[in-house]
Amino acid sequence: MTRYLRWILAVLAVVTLEVILAPFLPGPLRLLRPSLLLVMAAVTQFRFNKAVVGAVGIGLLADILAAVPGGGHVFGMVLTVIVMIVLFTRVLTNVSLPALAGLNAASFIVYYGTYLSFRVAQESLNGHLVFWSVSWPALVAAFFLQTFGGLIFHWSVRRSRDWFESSFILAR
């Protein structure tokens, strides 16, 4: 298998589990996005082309599986990856703990900001009111859980750097 096919299969598995399990989880856990962690891992390993391919794949699969017309997930993921790449290469030039926390927090804010603004515009053009079933405390809790999860994920990657660099997902 080629390396991009393996990357796309990993993205497919993560998004499928994310979309299938999300409706059954309680408030803050419903908002967690493991796909953002997967794309952030590609960005922090300097695999920018895989991050963009992963963002497009994640967005398309999430739009198809969640039945969201108009490409809200694609727009949110691609914009999030562009912001992550710019932040990682221009602002956060090292892979330190505060830089990773900031990168993960920025990705969460950009993704949900673009996705929610897309949904508000879409629903207002359709003539409907937008009701979001998740409370603000749940969103704040999910923000901190996602940031903490990203730090744990990156710590485990750093502990097993040899395995991760030779793994089937991010192999060159």
On whether the CB atoms of residues 6 and 169 are closer than 8 A, the answer is yes
Residue 130 pLDDT: 65
Confidence at residue 160, expressed as pLDDT on a 0 to 100 scale? 61
Residue from 144, 131, 152 nearest 31 by CA: 144
Q: What is the pTM of this model?
A: 0.74
The DSSP line for 53-86 is HHHHHHHHHHHHHHT-TT-HHHHHHHHHHHHHHH
Query: What string of pLDDT tens digits covers the 172 residues of the chain?
Result: 566 677 777 777 777 777 777 777 776 777 777 788 778 777 877 778 888 888 888 888 877 777 666 777 788 888 888 988 888 888 776 677 778 888 888 888 888 888 788 877 777 777 776 666 667 777 778 888 877 777 777 776 666 655 545 554 555 5
